[in-house]
Amino acid sequence: MTASPYVARPPGPDGTIHYTEEEHAIWHTLITRQLGCVQHRACHEYLTGLARLNLPHDRIPQLDDINRVLQPVTGWRVARVPALISFDRFFALLAGRQFPVATFIRRREDLDYLQEPDIFHELFGHCAMLTHPAFARFTHTYGQLGRDATPRERGFLARLYWFTVEFGLLNTPEGRRIYGGGILSSPGETQYAFESDKPEFRPFNLLDVLRTPYRIDIMQPIYYVLDSLDDLFAIADMDIMAEVRRAQRLGLFAPTFPPKQTAV
């Protein structure tokens, strides 16, 4: 396994993270391109949150700019982290209503896909949804459960996060809409979720979600769809860990994708 070329940027003595002109230009390319993709595809709650954040188009925002919006609305903050953090750190941050953000931005050669979540993915993909009470509450509950879970239980909880926070879809009167940051920050996944006849759209069922395998490096073959974003309140109130234990007893569904090829 090769090490990632990406390293999070620390702030300078003035408390500001100083990005290069090229990095600001990459942000501009990413945000202007993706704004065009998510119109009429993102859910209303996301677009409302995005308007609240008022992300600049010409520069990478500072994390304090995001916190000034999030904290008064739902009590959340963003926290600067390295490119990769441990599961213990990840869940502890969420349990403390802090959303981890790695302060690097992808290079132009990785414009369309980057395995590590960069600052564009985290801010554009996720932070607008953290202005919504149901999403904020669900994510906080998820962090508390993960903080106290065993490593095996965390593996099942990861599927819940994947099919909601990252790749969640929503039924609305206007049709299917996106609330998951993994779709919202990716032009390819956004178009695929709406224009391809390959993926399967399933109604959200907690036990099924916990038993559904996924791969991070392919377009998703399965999406789970909520009927209302407020359903996340109801999910947060469920005995999620009891369902995790049921999922452990029943085992995973058969994958709907081929195994990942490993280098020889």
* Residues tagged in the binding site annotation: 121, 126, 166
CB 97, CB 61: distance < 8 Å: no
Phi, psi of 135 (to 5 degrees): -65, -45
Annotated binding site for Fe cation: 121, 126, 166
Rounded to the nearest 10 degrees, the angle between the axes of helix 21-38 and helix 187-195 is 10
Phi and psi dihedrals of 40, rounded to 5? Answer: 70, 10
Closest of 159, 165, 179 to residue 227, by C-alpha = 179
> In angstroms, rounded to a whole number, what is the distance separating the alpha carbons of residues 129 and 123?
10
Is 139:236 a contact under the CB 8 Å cutoff? no
